[in-house]
Structure 1
Amino acid sequence: MGRDGSQQATLAALAANVGVAATKFVAFLFTGSSAMLAEGIHSIADTGNQVLLMLGRRRAAREPSPAHPFGYGRERYFYGFLVSVVLFFGGGLFALYEGYEKIADPHPLESWPWAIGVLVAATVMEAFSLRTAVRSSNRVRGGRSWARFIREAKAPELPVVLLEDAAALTGLAFALAGVTLAVITGNSAFDGLGSIAIGLLLVAVAVTLARETKSMIIGEGAAPSVQDAIVSVLDGDPSIQAYEQVRTLHLGPEDLLVAARVTMPSSGDVEGAARALAETERRIRARVPIASVVYLQPAPSELASGSRTSGDRPGGPLGRRSSR
């Protein structure tokens, strides 16, 4: 199980979506509801989501190779991106199409109690999955808001499952409203409108996930709190006179590359300096366990200004030095 609880949340969502998809398609066969069909396709897409996320996690666990010396951790981001682009957009566009077809060529619902019963049962199962995702997220969320957590989360599975389950519950509410209004008014266009609402919801979730996973695929630095922890280690190291160009890069959700240029006292003891650098790297890893790769580049001692200096955060201009 992942340290962030994402695997537990993914498995819970997979189990819920398999059961929900089966019940929705049974209800569609009895009712002919386009909203039920859209919800069934939605659940099939969600099931595929979980399979892709689990595949990405498995492939990311492979050992580094000559072609990929830093490992395959970013495969989790790639599969998270596939979830958003292929499955969410596919499910969303299909739901929009079904809604349009139902409005353009309306036909009455049949055996509508089936639809109501299935939607209620699906709501219970999706609520259980969302509760598991929320509990897993709370272990690593800290005091951040949900919106900020989704933006800053480095593991793609939890944001995907959270947004997916929230969208599923909202979509079920749309489907229930559409079916209920169609039954009460006798106008099946409400069923089609429910399907269109589900499609718009899925496309909105797809855009959100695509934006967040794209940032990680391109390459994203550590969270500010992690960067501060690394800087605090460098600040407290007596063997370092100055440092600059502190850079971090996520190689995967649980693998971080840390690089910095450090200035050490000029003592002529090369072996002693090497041991001191190795000890600094060990302290960084102890403070930041995900720092799997640490590169500290010694700079000429004459660059030291007599005061400790820090490099910019990732993304800032290189080489700017600010006194502490």
Structure 2
Amino acid sequence: MASGSKKVIYAALIGNTLIAVSKFVGASVTGSSAMVSEGVHSLVDTGNQGLMLLGLKRASRAADKKHPFGYGMEVYFWSFMVAVLIFALGAGISIYEGLHAISAPEAVKDPIWNYSILSLGIVFEGWAWTVAYKEFKKTIGDTPIWTAIKRSKDPTIFTVLLEDTAAMLGLVIAMVGIFLSQQLNMPILDGVASIAIGCVLALVAVILSIECKALLIGETAIPETIEGIENIINAHPDILNLNELLTMHLGPEDILLTVSVDFKDGISAEMVEQSITDLEKTIKEAHPKVKRIFIEVQSVSDHLAATVGNA
């Protein structure tokens, strides 16, 4: 998944860099506020891809004494920072530019520049969006996209996908705003388009921040993984009862698993140790994302008493 994430990010980085330069050139020629907003949008997205690459690099560091479970959650932190930047810079500057253009509207000059650059932007952004969508599709199968985003544990891919979707919408909005401002001789519509772009970016930023927050504070594995682990444990001949099973993602490809089980009476300590070893091996083979497993041996009554005592 890391290689797939980097592929998506590099594609978005190249596309956004190219189109950011084009948009700022167009804005300087035409004076369009919507084009300025789009340029800022692409520039912010370019910086965001840099932050996500930084997050992937830092997350790959090996565990140490200070962080015994590794640095996988760095990906979630930097993805959250991307959401903050989209809201503060992308949406904030776009809305500011729009309000400024509405208060002092000016006719857009040489609109052919805008149409050409926006069309070029749609090509670049469309290519980056296609790369992100194909990578995301590999992981979700037939699951609806919105459901898959809510369930995904790799924010790098769905962040780029949402960014590129917002970029495509922004390009369309900018083109419509410039066209209407020309056809209706209402320069104010260029500013309205800029505000609309800012609203789109703000919405995407809120969605991303909600998803990244859930991952940052500790999110469980997907239901299919939990069910699969439960089936493995319940099928073990020496286990009388599965008392509790808890999972948490420490990174997109790193799941922490803690289990409390009650073994049948009369089993020797050596048999319990071997059963635990076999369980860990079977679980990790069936679910490679499970990197760390802690199995607690406890009777059902003792587990219930401890649970009530901690409630």
TM-score when scaled to structure 2?
Answer: 0.95
Which residues of structure 1 form unaligned runs of 5+? 305-310, 312-316, 320-324
Structure 1 residue 131: deviation in Å?
0.6
Native 8 Å contact 1:57 1:76 kept in 2: yes
Match of 1:121? 120
Letter in 1 for 2:101: K
Native 8 Å contact 2:86 2:201 kept in 1: no
For the residues of structure 2 that align with 1:289 and 1:7, how far apart are their CA atoms?
21
Structure 1 residue 266: deviation in Å?
3.1
Match of 2:28? 29
Native 8 Å contact 1:264 1:301 kept in 2: no
2:56 aligned with 1:68: no
Counting matched residue pairs gives 307
Structure 1 residue 119: deviation in Å?
0.2
Structure 1 residue 142: deviation in Å?
2.2
Which residues of structure 2 form unaligned runs of 5+? none
For the residues of structure 2 that align with 1:208 and 1:173, how far apart are their CA atoms?
21
For the residues of structure 1 that align with 2:144 and 2:6, how far apart are their CA atoms?
22
Structure 1 residue 267: deviation in Å?
3.2
For the residues of structure 1 that align with 2:261 and 2:169, how far apart are their CA atoms?
52
Helix, strand or coil: the match of 1:256? strand
Structure 1 residue 281: deviation in Å?
0.8
Structure 1 residue 88: deviation in Å?
3.3
Match of 1:49? 48
Match of 1:270? 269
Structure 1 residue 301: deviation in Å?
8.1
Q: Structure 1 vs Structure 2: percent identity of aligned residues? A: 35
Match of 2:148? 149
Please list the CA deviations of residues 252-278 of structure 1 after superposition, one character each: whole Å capped at 9, or x if unmatched.
111001111111123352122111101
Match of 1:177? 176
Match of 1:199? 198
Helix, strand or coil: the match of 1:295? strand
For the residues of structure 1 that align with 2:296 and 2:270, how far apart are their CA atoms?
15
Does 118-127 or 294-303 show the bigger shift?
294-303
Structure 1 residue 299: deviation in Å?
1.2
Match of 1:314? none
Helix, strand or coil: the match of 2:105? coil
For the residues of structure 2 that align with 1:28 and 1:318, how far apart are their CA atoms?
63
For the residues of structure 1 that align with 2:103 and 2:135, how far apart are their CA atoms?
43
Match of 1:99? 98
Native 8 Å contact 2:44 2:85 kept in 1: no
Letter in 2 for 1:29: S
Match of 2:212? 213
Please list the CA deviations of residues 44-91 of structure 1 after superposition, one character each: whole Å capped at 9, or x if unmatched.
011011111110010000011111100011000000000001233311
Letter in 2 for 1:60: A
For the residues of structure 1 that align with 2:188 and 2:138, how far apart are their CA atoms?
44
Native 8 Å contact 2:102 2:192 kept in 1: yes
